[in-house]
Amino acid sequence: MAQRTLPTGTVTFLFTDIEGSTRLARAAAGRWSGIVEDHNRILRGAVEMARGAVVRTEGDAVFAAFPDAVDAVHAAVAAQRTLAAHPWPPDSAVRVRMGLHTGRGVLGGDDYVGVDVHEAARVAGAGHGGQVVLTAATRALVEHELPEGVRVRELGEHLLENLDHPTRLHDLEIDGLPSFFPPLREADAPGNLAEDRTSFIGRAEEVARILGLLERERLVTLTGPGGTGKTRLALRAGRAARGFTRGAWFVDLSPIREPDLVLSAIADALGVHPEGSVPVIEAAARRLADGRTLLLLDNLEQVPDAPDRVAELLDRVSGVSILATSRAPLRLSRERELPVGPLSLEGDEESDAARLFVERAASVGRELDGDEAVRELCRRLDGLPLAIELAATRTKLLTPGAILERLGERLDLLSARARDVPERQRTLRAAIAWSEELLGDAQRRLFAALSVFSGGCTIAAAESVCGPAVPGLDIEDGLEALLDHSLIRRRGDRLDMLETIRDYGRERLAETELLDQVAERHAAFFTSVAEEAEPHLTKRDREALAARIQAEEANLRAVLRYVVAVDRGALGCRLVGSLWRYWQMVGRGREGAGWARQVLALPSAAEPSRERVRALLAQGNLAYWLGDQATMLDSYTAALDLARDLSEPALEAEALADLGFASIWREEPDEAIASFAASARLRSDAGDRVGVAWTRVGMAIAHGLRKDHDAMLPLLEEAEATFEEADDLFGLENVLGMLATIEFERGEIDRAEERIRRLLLATQVDVSTAAGLSAMANIALARSDPERAMRLWGAVEGIADAAGGGRIPSVLVPLGDTRADAAAKLDPETASALAAEGRAMDPADAIAYALGDDG
């Protein structure tokens, strides 16, 4: 028997198995082994007749590989026809599902390894008996060479088990064989919708109505006053929604006030971080361009002009549907409003409102039934879920009857005092007020002080900001009391308030003498958070520090709003100077530039100070990354003049270096070198080795404008050693890419590759990963491996698409953009399939592939 040879390179994989084999095995009993033998013989014969190779069989499953996709389809069609014509026992008709996918054939011993094998198996698993399912990569190679009597049918995008991206699938219509099949089996769609922490009671009709609307409408708004349960209803419907291949994503807008940040919040939820000058809407639109996505936009009433941003997104991206919650409709022409009322107070046995009260009472240790006191209490609370939940926590101490008596007094009192407030809002405010009044004086002061936080806080932040406002109170004990009274909630390691409760708390805070003190301490605390993180944002631990800032973005924005409102220019300049690198890292450059403009325009910010210099430099740096050369030059020049007036040599040196990079933008190497040299002298005198290294990098780039590689090399090698020693990862990435470029252009391919390997092993930032992968693609092409190059360019495109850029800026592609050259060496279908494989890789997998030695 000839030794089996498995194809490598571009391979089409075929997976098959018998549908319902366990049931058939039981029914056929002793005949089952013969049935499986007949099945295996038919499959093996079809594969070998089509010049394929059976890789392995496991029971009733067959795995085969073909060097040619057309042969693979012929084998699958022939096998299905033979299986259909075979005389199976009457009670054991065999129906086989098949899946085809074309990808990269990498051998590991006597079997295949890699993501393409797994994808092919998942494609087969999605189908049904008698069905042949194939991916777009296979279809592109076979659609013009199909067997007689066979057609390809489009099935759309589907999310398959254990694959993190939707897959476009097709199946084969084969004359003479069944062509109707149930919907493909799918995995759950991606998304970020949290599971209910407590059971969801009632609202079945509302959920069904929302799902029906989402099938035909693109904007559905749930409206109603705070406390009616709009958010939980939206989440419930979002988890039940089907057909959204790109998933359902929750976007909390409660901390947002600026309209432009609505799109940024959506981008955050989706993991989109636009680079450079790419607008957020463009980044989000590119991520959402394929498939269907459901966005749950919560608390839209918080943001003026938010409807304009919603309309813009709906106009730009046809596959997006929005389920919004708001206290008022958005007033958009395409909107379908669905008012959300209270829970039902009627029921054959127990109303939904009473069931909620009983269940929440059980969670605090009180077993009840829906007696008349509970029913009356729910009626007095108007069936409002939040009011019911707040009242139910009182059952730790009081019976429902006692709660009813006390709450009745509170409702009457509040109604007399607040005639201009809608009845249900008075009811809800009464429930919150009563919960608050059950606290001690110090605990009430703590509750009011905590409302200063936006987006929640850690216990440490609560202690620092609120502690001085409540002397003598153990903060942890106070927080436990607020948790017990349901006035705050715990989310992981953070504490937060519902927006309705926070609004009430802010009103109470404004009534006290605490407001200014707490606002100042809040601003000081989060300014310190930004300042402590800032030096680490270029180092190896930058991801952790950036994550800390990201967790506090809502609080930091609240501080920036505060300093602008009360004209605290020095504090605002400190924040802008500390946050600019973070804004640049995560694609918030436009937002940061807006804050810098507002802060620097404050009257108190005009005072000459170190803080103003740093804010001017930050404004210039943000403009640099946004490509705004006029603002860049004006900011750097103003910073240099002020630094000299203040006799601040370190800031003068920084401004000179930044002006050097501005000259590089304008392709003025002489001016750039002069600025870098002046900066280097000041930094050398101060012992700032990392600063000197950056001036060396700038000089090297300036010499690069003259194509003077001999002058570049020693400058870059010196900077490389300094960055390595100082653990400055950002500097090291830049230097490694430039050194690799020089070596590559000199034909020193191995040395260039070694530099890029170091870059890929060091980086944690996607844009640097993309730069390294693009370099490895160039190296693969230089070594006459266009297939590998095309996959790597696909991975680069995948990362850039996730960032919203489509393509990373040319300045960050160290060895040039040669994807068109790689594609030209392949036939179009193969090039497209290989690029698609690369785009499907996540950054970690792409790095592993680039560093592998599998050719």
pLDDT digits (tens, 9 = 90+) for 461-507: 999 999 998 998 999 999 998 988 878 888 888 998 877 788 889 98
pLDDT at 501: 85
Q: What is the mean pLDDT of residues 582-596?
A: 90
* Proportion of the chain above pLDDT 70, given as a percent: 93
Higher pLDDT, 92 or 820: 820
pLDDT in tens, 776-815: 999 999 999 999 999 999 988 887 766 554 444 444 456 7
pLDDT score of 91 more than 80: no
pLDDT band at 677 (very low <50, low <70, confident <90, very high): very high
Tokens of 48: 């070998």
- Once rounded to an integer, what is the mean pLDDT over residues 192-220? 87
In the predicted structure, residue 714 carries a pLDDT above the cut 50: yes
- Comparing 799 with 823, the larger pLDDT belongs to 823
**Residue 389, pLDDT score:** 85
**Are 654 and 642 spatial neighbours (Cβ–Cβ below 8 Å)?**
no
Residue 419: exposed, middle, or buried by beta-carbon count in 10 A (0-12, 13-18, 19+)?
exposed
Q: What is the enclosing helix (H) or strand (E) of 435?
A: helix 423-437
What phi and psi values does residue 160 have, to the nearest 5 degrees? -95, 155
812, HSE (Cβ side, Cα atoms, 13 Å): 21
Instruction: Pick 496 or 275 by higher pLDDT.
Output: 496
Confidence of residue 413 (pLDDT cuts 50, 70, 90): very low
Whole-angstrom distance, CA of residue 385 vs CA of residue 362: 16
Residue bearing the bigger pLDDT, 745 or 44: 44
Task: Tell whether the model's pLDDT for residue 451 goes beyond 90.
Answer: yes
pLDDT of residue 49: 95
The whole-chain average pLDDT of the chain stands at 87
Alpha-carbon distance 559 to 563, whole Å?
Answer: 6
Asked if residue 52 has pLDDT above 60, the reply is: yes
- Cβ atoms of residues 515 and 541 within 8 Å: no
Among 415-429, 568-582, 827-841, the range of highest mean pLDDT: 568-582
Instruction: Pull the structure tokens for residue 655.
Output: 């401004």
In the predicted model, what is the mean pLDDT of residues 274-281?
71
pLDDT more than 90, % of the chain:
49
Q: Are 755 and 779 in contact (CB under 8 A)?
A: no
User: Which string of b and e fits 260-275 if b means at least 16 CB within 10 Å?
Assistant: ebbbbbbbbbbebbbb
Cα separation of 246 and 249, whole Å?
A: 9
- Asked whether the beta carbons of 324 and 219 are under 8 A apart, the reply is yes
Whether residue 420 has pLDDT greater than 60: no
Give yes or no for a contact between 789 and 830, defined as CB atoms under 8 angstroms apart: no
State the average pLDDT over residues 834-844.
85
Angle subtended at Cα 697 by Cα 693 and Cα 698, rounded to the nearest 5 degrees? 115
Q: Is 62 helix (H, G, I), strand (E, B) or coil?
A: strand
**Per-residue pLDDT averaged across 229-235, rounded?**
91
pLDDT confidence tier of residue 528, bands split at 50, 70 and 90: very high
Q: What is the DSSP letter of 98?
A: E
Q: What is the model's pLDDT at position 187?
A: 64
The per-residue pLDDT for 764 is: 62
Mean pLDDT of 55-69: 93
7-11, 114-118, 149-153, 419-423: segment of lowest average pLDDT: 419-423
pLDDT at residue 417 above 50?
A: no
What is the C-alpha radius of gyration for the chain, rounded to an integer number of angstroms? 32
Q: What is the pairing mode between strands 132-135 and 167-174?
A: antiparallel
Q: What is the mean pLDDT of residues 158-178?
A: 82
- 93 class by beta-carbon count within 10 Å (0-12 exposed, 13-18 middle, 19+ buried): middle
Sign of the torsion angle spanned by Cα atoms 23, 28, 32, 35: negative
Compare 280 and 523 and report the one with higher pLDDT. 523
Residue 668 has pLDDT above 60, yes or no: yes
Average pLDDT over residues 641-651: 97
Q: Which of 441, 371, 445 is nearest to 401 (CA)?
A: 371
More confident residue, 705 or 76: 76
Number of neighbours of residue 321 by Cβ within 10 angstroms: 22
pLDDT on residue 409: 61
Confidence at residue 197, expressed as pLDDT on a 0 to 100 scale: 67
